[in-house]
A and B are shown apart, each in its own frame.
Chain A
């Protein structure tokens, strides 16, 4: 008998046995199927076993191998059908195997965690990205033009006090004194100096102010600053963008409130609050870009208007995760990092 014929008959048996046992609904039909396929005398497998002797001896090992595979498949199909019939309705009964303990812990990968500040920053970028704001970047070490002058902070302004800033000794002879930026608004200036309106950006990053480190202050922190300059940008646009942002961040409808405030680079200037759980929560500073600032970067305030806003990333992050001491963010205790 040709090997190919024999294998075809084996395959046929395997296929029909699988279908038949999958379809049995009760003990009687299971027994009938068992007799048909695996009966010791008249079963179809038995019949094929007899044919095995007729295969060319050179090909008999291959034929035997396939025969054993099909026999195993048949046994499997019978056992599965039997188990299905014996199982209580709606589920399979577990075979009692005491050596298997499913309550032992699985083998887990140790995944590292992103710092909570990074997680907050990425979320802010993502939300603002959906609102059409692209991320812009700028240096952390700045000259006085970008950190102060262009932002309408004149020499006599208290914000320029050497004790309120991290000035760098003996640096930048050609650019005048250098300092660690005290706000991310510096990036606004750099972008506007190089880009014609419209401008729709956020800048995020480290800023530095000489505060004594305590539970709520750290001399280094992160800010997000947003800027939109175009024709016909109004304070209503500012309020609406902040509301879209807050609603996206908090996941429910949020209202925005403006309180008058003072920042040299915006006029009018406001503190923005959002209403959350019947409470007004400080969001950050905002306002319409001061005409002096627009002029400083070569824009015409008669043609374009703009708004800007800034917020502290640490505060949002700490509020979200109930972190009560800002210094914990910079200790980098891995137990702390693994909480988030």
Chain B
């Protein structure tokens, strides 16, 4: 809301500097955006929150000033000379859609001379950035900017049958607006019609057929109260936002409707001549009397933490316009002013008193009681996960939760269901709630490849959104990673995480058929028979689909399973005081023998003396070993809890391992 410095002075004395005015207004709820000098005036731009439509007019702002500086407020008396036939003989008004329009008033001025506005009025409108059109239209805008009540003026002779019918728009109805464009209307919109056709879109825009023009002599002045929600929907659907719709959306002062209508007649009679018809024609129901609100003074310290003297409370509420303010037995009873719809409860009055009294009076150094706080298990697990990921050289990415639809079908191992869709795309082309983080990371990878970054090792922890048959979707905490290394590089990350989180069940692998992943390497990871996630190298086809030049492996894990199995309080176990002894072995086996099979045989054969078994290398030498053979090199660390092992004991363990592997896997020791 832009207010004019000169205009405000009509209602309240401004003895302060403009900077001081805007500072105090900001501290009382009207944020200062900017002040611009226009001619000999100042245009002061104030931000008005949506609960304060009373400040969408100069009188409302002046009232705030009057209360803050404790000076009188001068509101004009809108009386005007009336003569000739009463309005009720000249026009008829009816409302057939009381849920869209609460009240409609019409007044008539006849014999006006349309012409330019006087300079003082035109200048004030220009200060506010409004275009100056002619005296009658300018006056209706002036009154709106004075009190916040939008008005519309019709050329009376262009209203068929001298009738105003406020009704809901019909399906398929068209409306020709002042901007000479035709708008398609639909039910839910409020139309002002004459006996034949729509002549205005209530509260949003006037019609081209009934607008005031240079030849106009007789006027119908509309002052009405439209339903805020309907105005907002209509303005939005048609893209017709105006100062008028802005005010109706926020709600106008029910009792101010009539004041604005009379003020408009007064100024037209004064500035455009003409004769005002006596009386008014109205339809709809005036606002019911507002209930009395009671403020218990004891609630002020209870909510605000400070005491405010009762006489100041009484002054503030009275000066803001409350009626019948009575202070009795520690309570203030009052009737709220009609322009303050936001006052309905005791707490609303507490806020009013507080903001005028000043929030700077509230101390910032009271002793807030101490309280314990807990870190959640999930947070503690996540911290360890992030530490392990960054220590492994992975950078944390953060990508959007909503992705293009094709990404959802590219990789969706957690749910077969169609992704949830947002009605409005979040970013260009992205309207699907992701069911995997992997496609987003591949896109981040593409961006990094495009600027030749290397290495590109990224991970993200975020939720994925898995639709459920009923109720809220399942938001699964998920960890995903993309790296330039191969399958085993990322598998090492998984093993590191399991180690860091001290997860007891061993990692198992199972077959997987994800189209994004290359068919040889892709693997489903399992812990204790449950799915932990998926791991594999991205297929050539998928690399092309995501515009990637270089090979990458990806990983996606269910963080919630990791959380569940994580052991954040590992227990000490006794450590042997005796030295370990190592034995390295190099076994030649068939290609079909998997490490896990061999390792299981090794562990069984070695027995309790085996402390660690470490895989070293796989190596192939077809010339020496023949086709279809591989060598598996590994180290065993042996240790006893009660003695130093001898070489002979270690050799015996080695022999048992070799024998078992020979029997079970036809392994041959390379000596």
Contacts and interface: CB of A to CB of B under 8 A. Distances in A.
Interface of A: 109-115, 117-118, 122, 125, 128-135, 137, 139-143, 155-156, 158, 161-163, 166-175, 178, 180, 198, 200, 206, 208, 210, 213, 219-220, 232, 234-237, 239-244, 255-262, 267-271, 288, 290-291, 305, 329-335, 337-338
B195 to A, nearest CB: 32
A143 B470 CA distance: 12
B453 A158 contact: no
B28 interface: yes
B426 A240 contact: no
Contacts of A135: 375-376, 379
A175 B396 contact: no
Given A332-B447, A332-B448, A334-B448, A114 B390 contact: yes
B374 A134 contact: yes
B362 A235 contact: yes
A219 B50 contact: no
B424 A132 contact: no
Interface stretch (B90-98, B203-211, B456-464): B456-464
A115 B394 CA distance: 11
B398 A109 contact: no
B305 interface: yes
Interface string B452-486: 01011111001101010011110100000000000
- Which of B301, B305, B391 gathers the greatest number of chain A CB atoms within 10 Å? B305
Interface string B367-405: 110111111101100010010011111111111111000
Interface string B33-73: 00000000000000001111000000000000000000000
Given A166-B402, A239-B363, A332 B475 contact: no
Given A158-B50, A174-B470, A240-B368, A260 B448 contact: no
B368 A115 contact: no
Interface in B296-332: 301-306
Given A132-B371, A141-B433, A257-B360, A332 B458 contact: yes
Nearest to A241: B368
A168 B433 contact: yes
Pick the 9 closest A-B CB pairs, nearest first: A236-B305, A234-B305, A132-B371, A260-B29, A258-B359, A268-B351, A112-B390, A262-B49, A332-B397
Contact of A259 (B27, B451, B473, B475): B27
B347 to A, nearest CB: 5
Contacts of A330: 398-400
Given A267-B351, A268-B354, A335-B453, A305 B427 contact: no
Contacts of B87: none
A261 B472 contact: no
**Majority SS of interface residues in chain A?**
mixed
B456 A109 contact: no
A210 B236 contact: no
A267 B354 CA distance: 11
Contact of B472 (A143, A163, A169): A143
B402 A234 contact: no
Given A132-B373, A235-B305, A260-B29, A113 B379 contact: no
A156 B371 contact: no
A135 B378 CA distance: 10
Contacts of A140: 401, 463, 465, 475
Contacts of A269: 351
B246 to A, nearest CB: 11
Contact of A173 (B447, B448, B470): B470
B368 A305 contact: no
30 contacts: A111-B393, A112-B389, A114-B390, A122-B383, A140-B465, A161-B236, A167-B423, A168-B422, A169-B420, A198-B371, A213-B427, A219-B402, A234-B301, A234-B304, A236-B364, A236-B366, A237-B368, A239-B364, A240-B367, A243-B365, A259-B359, A260-B355, A262-B50, A262-B51, A330-B398, A331-B444, A332-B399, A332-B448, A334-B455, A338-B395
Interface string B191-217: 000000000000000000000000000
